[in-house]
Amino acid sequence: MRPSSKRLALGLALLLGGCAGDGDPAILTPQGTSPSEPGSAPAVLAIRVLTAGIELDVDGYTIEVANTAWSVAANDSLTIADLLAGDYLIRLGEVAGNCATVDGLDLRAITLSSGTTTSVQFNVLCASTAVPDTAGPAISNAPACYLNGTGCSLNELEQWKEAEEVRIAATQQASQTVYDSLEVVWDTYLRDFPLGQSQFLMCGPLEYEANVRIVGPQGADMSIGPHELHIPPGALSESVVITGEMPVSLLVSVELSPHGLQFAPGVTLVLSYKHCEQLESYEYLVAYLDANRNVLEWPTSRNYSEYEEITADIDHFSKYAVAY
């Protein structure tokens, strides 16, 4: 395929610590290595894109490497020869809004060696209306009394809870279409993508579930679909509205709000994977994720395989998922 004229930003090179002038190629080489050693054999990069699901991306994607973009179809392969040995960033671009990479990563960092071929594969899954997780929680309706730290009266807490219940009802209704779509997609995923391709435990979708309660210093136990949140007495210093949501997703995940709420030690989150096809050779962990599925922390986890659930000690509210 012929490369297009699309250019990557120089910032990609800087991500790996490289530096280049305006006219320098964005090919990164290991520190202390010349980018053009005489007699060295070229490196070869073999890229494969596999797309499954429904309503596939008919326009295909772009593969961006070393300041150049190539067009690839939804299920396609691309071989780039005559590359210099060194470190590269590979980006899968122009992915349709109803599709996403299975592992949530569209940027890969690799090292190419002279005289060898390095293979990279992007697995993309498409749903009919939204990518997995987009039916998940919106921003919590936290009022000013909570945000400014003054504390909320009982009346303010009740109003906060009612606002959350309205949001949850709307989210539940919107999630049904995504659930129906992902049920179809899941069969395709099992056929085309071997289990273990993602760093997260991938499972068939469950319908959206949520629970909202006013919780104070006395603590509480909350069920969120098959998952559980245990808040012991004394973990909270004042009453707050707590919302737990299980989004429609191929991940085993929950989102707890208000985001950033911190508490004393002892709060535990139990994630159940009874509905999953487990990978017996993997050690499951709970991961704290950002909005783009990047793992920010690994809270202390205990996997109870006999009960098909994993317990994590958490100290703040955010999004959590089972990974390995």
pLDDT band at 82 (very low <50, low <70, confident <90, very high): confident
Q: In this structure, are 43 and 90 located in the same domain?
A: yes
Q: In this structure, are 92 and 222 located in the same domain?
A: no
Query: Residue 159 belongs to what H/E stretch?
Result: helix 154-192
pLDDT band at 61 (very low <50, low <70, confident <90, very high): very high
Q: Please tell me whether the peptide bond between 258 and the residue prior to it is cis, using omega within 30 degrees of 0.
A: yes
Query: Residue 192: its pLDDT value, please?
Result: 63
Query: Residue 4: its pLDDT value, please?
Result: 35
Is 46 part of a structural domain of the chain?
yes
Q: How far apart are CA 72 and CA 82, in angstroms?
A: 19
Q: In this structure, are 150 and 121 located in the same domain?
A: no
Is 133 part of a structural domain of the chain?
no
Q: In this structure, are 46 and 117 located in the same domain?
A: yes
Q: How far apart are CA 303 and CA 298, in angstroms?
A: 13
283-303: per-residue pLDDT in tens?
889 999 887 677 889 999 999
Is 139 part of a structural domain of the chain?
no
Query: Residue 37: its pLDDT value, please?
Result: 53
Q: In this structure, are 67 and 211 located in the same domain?
A: no
Q: How far apart are CA 190 and CA 247, in angstroms?
A: 20
* CATH assignment at residue 55: 2.60.40.10
Which of 70, 96, 126 marks a domain boundary?
A: 126
* CATH assignment at residue 192: 2.60.220
Exposed/middle/buried for residue 58 (C-beta within 10 Å: 0-12, 13-18, 19+) = exposed
- Residue range of the domain that includes 95: 11-126
In the chain, the number of structural domains is 2
Worst-scoring range by mean pLDDT, 145-159, 220-234, 246-260, 282-296?
Answer: 282-296
Mean pLDDT, residues 174-200: 72
DSSP code at position 301 = E
Q: What is the pTM of this model?
A: 0.66
In residues, how long is the chain? 324
In angstroms, the Cα distances linking 17 to 27, 33, 87, 241, 249 are 12, 14, 10, 44, 35
Query: Residue 181: its pLDDT value, please?
Result: 74
Q: In this structure, are 117 and 197 located in the same domain?
A: no
